[in-house]
Structure 1
Amino acid sequence: MYYTKDTILFLNGKFIKAVDAHTDLYSQSLHYGFGAFEGIRAYQTMNGVKIFKAYEHFERLKKSCALVNIPFSYETEELIQIAYQLLEKNDMGDAYIRPLVYCGPNMQLTHTDEVYLMMCTWEWDKYHGDKQLKMCVSSYQRPNPNSLKMEAKVTGHYVNSILATSEAKVRGYDEALMLDMNGFVAEAPGANFFLEKDGVLYTPSLGHILPGITRQTVMNICRELDIPVKEKQIKVEELESADSAFLCGTAAEIVGIESIDAKPFKKEWFDSLGATVQEAYKCQVLEKSFSYVII
């Protein structure tokens, strides 16, 4: 589903066919999860194909590498140009872009100077589709921020996410909601969390979560639409009295939550602040005015 015999990707300075791409099976990234990546979307907008928040995403990729001492020499503008060339070569407009920084062979627990860049793209619908999610509080917690660089988008971190989502699906839910080490609400395995209560949106404070680019976009939209939004530590008990909730992320975009642990929220999704944000977000990525979005 990710590529065909004609798909082109970028690998270490060259555009080649995906079927011709190879990697070293002794890669430190493959064995130890030591690498960094991004998830980015491009949209067919009113003004042509545009990569949403391209600068912010590639800056975060560079920051992730720096935080875990992976040497990475590409400039942000160079990465943006590679991404646009990749879309053109694959004749794609609405697409998901995945840059991956990975390391060469090294079986020691030290960083290596042998570092590579792969960038690929494929057509991908919203990660959770358009349905409202049935979620559960996970038995898996987000890691202690003193044990990992939580603000870095590192490949190995996502073992934690795979375990949480897999557990939720086995239990009959769509997705997991993870807590931090202190028992406060953190985030979903691959998306940030917002809760609505009495006309205000709340989202978990930084520290135990990935500071998502879509999360920041949502907060900016709220300020433009005069929707009060606050960062705070959210107790699990507060979920029961909330009016609504939603997830946000590049892959998921904005997706409403129907229930948590089989307890539905008070508001119908289409009457919620999240639905308003969802519509404004769609307008922003397509470069349409959202002045008609009224709360």
Structure 2
Amino acid sequence: MQYYNSNTVIYVNGRFEKAEEMKTDLYGQSLHYGFAAFEGIRAYKTHNATRVFKIKEHYDRLQRSCELVNIPFPWDKNELIKQTYKLLELNNLKDAYIRPLVYCEPNMTLIAPQEASIMICAWEWGAYLGNKQLKVCVSPFQRPNPKSTFVEAKISGHYVNSILATTDAKSKGFDEALLLDMNENVAEAPGANIFIEKNGKLYTPSLGNILAGITRNTVIELCNVLDIEVIEKTISVAELKKADSAFFCGTATEIIGIHTIDDVVYKQKWNDSIGATIQRAYKNLVLEKVNYEVII
């Protein structure tokens, strides 16, 4: 996939530059050790204008991720929001995926840096996992022990774990992986959270071993509006496979149904599931077809 061309501009440390002309320092701590923080944000073309969905929440989380691992974050978030919209305008993007990245100065030690830079880029990108229901496998890889890192921080190096899991799943003929936590309970997908449906209720893994997804929180908010009960709890693999249906959610993924887990087929039709209801409600929300934000 081509993410930029000769006309693409990106935002770097307060200025707009041609993407193809930018360079990075080969001695950067982020390059060598994966010590960087990032966000994935979506912009949607609505009947009002191009809107970046929950942009404040994403920049709040970016700042929090940096603070947790001691990466400097000296930027004004309101200014970053303003420049993100400017970036979309300069690149003539209406529907887009936006990637802010905070990366560190040259540093070959294992000590947190004194200085950092910020880059924001954007490109056209459809649904990350496509639009059909997914064949998913339980991955042999686990999410990191929460005592080994800050799992709630969206840090670049954490995604080595995700790359291993997704690559392994696809090599086995699956669309995506589902990782367990250190106790062999359901955690999350490599780049998305999971909900399961059972007897008219939704269940999702409790926070602590997973990333606190912004889309995950939006699903819970929508369920409150739609009077759908959501229970956050520890979910075993047995419970996962006995569910009526299941779906992944995330900024890149949006809402997508799961057809199978390993060799288990969910028998409930997707269109009859709570997940399908949430999928429609989420699309209406991000496209501002229904003004849920008055409530949420």
Say yes or no: TM over 0.5. yes
> Which residue does the alignment assign to 1:22?
23
2:260 matched residue in structure 1? 259
Residue type of the alignment partner of 2:135: K
Identity %: 61
Q: After the TM superposition, which residues 83-122 of structure 1 pair with which residues of structure 2 at under 5 Å, given as runs?
A: 83-122=84-123
1:273 is matched with: 274
Shift of 1:89: 0.3
1:135/1:262 contact within 8 Å kept: no
Q: Residues 141 and 179 of structure 1 are in contact (CA less than 8 Å); yes or no, is this contact kept in structure 2?
A: yes
String of CA shifts for 1:19-70, please: whole Å, max 9, x gaps.
1111101100000000000000000012101100000000000000000000
- Please name the residue that 2:232 is paired with: 231
Letter in 2 for 1:181: M
Query: Secondary structure at the residue paired with 2:165?
Result: helix
Q: What SS does the aligned partner of 2:85 have?
A: helix
Superposition map of 1:70-85 within 5 A? 70-85=71-86
1:173 partnered with 2:174: yes
Extract structure 1 runs of 4+ deviating beyond 4 A: none
Q: Which residue of 2 aligns with 1:212?
A: 213
State the partner residue of 2:43: 42
TM-score with structure 2 length normalisation? 0.97
The alpha carbon displacement at 1:105 in A equals: 0.7
One-letter amino acid of the counterpart of residue 89, structure 1:
L
1:9 maps to what in 2? 10
Which residue pairs with 1:198 in the alignment? 199
Q: CA deviation at 1:266?
A: 1.9
**For residues 109 and 167 of structure 2, what CA distance do their matches in structure 1 show?**
30
Deviation larger for 252-261 or 71-80: 71-80
Instruction: Classify 1:30/1:284 alpha carbon distance in 2 versus 1 (closer, same or farther; 3 Å).
Output: same
Aligned to 1:64: 65
- Give, as a single letter, the amino acid of the residue that structure 2 aligns with 1:203: T
Match in the other structure for 1:184: 185
Q: Which runs of 5+ in 1 are unaligned?
A: none
Distance in 1 (alpha carbons) for counterparts of 2:103 and 2:136: 33
User: Residue by residue, what CA displacement relative to the aligned partner does 1:191-249 show, whole Å, maximum 9, x if unpaired?
Assistant: 00000000000000000000000000000000100111110000000122110000000
Distance 2:282 2:216 in 1: 11
**Structure 1 residue 181, shift from structure 2 partner:** 0.2
Secondary structure of the structure 1 residue equivalent to 2:235: coil
Partner of 2:156: 155
SS at match of 2:102: strand
For 2:139, what is the secondary structure of its paired residue? strand
TM-score if structure 1 supplies the norm length?
0.97
CA drift of 1:104 comes to 1.0
Q: Determine if contact 1:52/1:285 at 8 Å carries over to the other structure.
A: yes
* Matching residue's letter, 1:147: S
Is contact 1:11–1:21 with CA below 8 Å preserved after alignment?
A: no
- In structure 2, distance between residues paired with 1:137 and 1:51: 33
Query: 1:273, CA displacement in angstroms?
Result: 0.3
Shift of 1:13: 1.6
Residue 290 of structure 1 and its aligned partner are, at CA, apart by 7.3
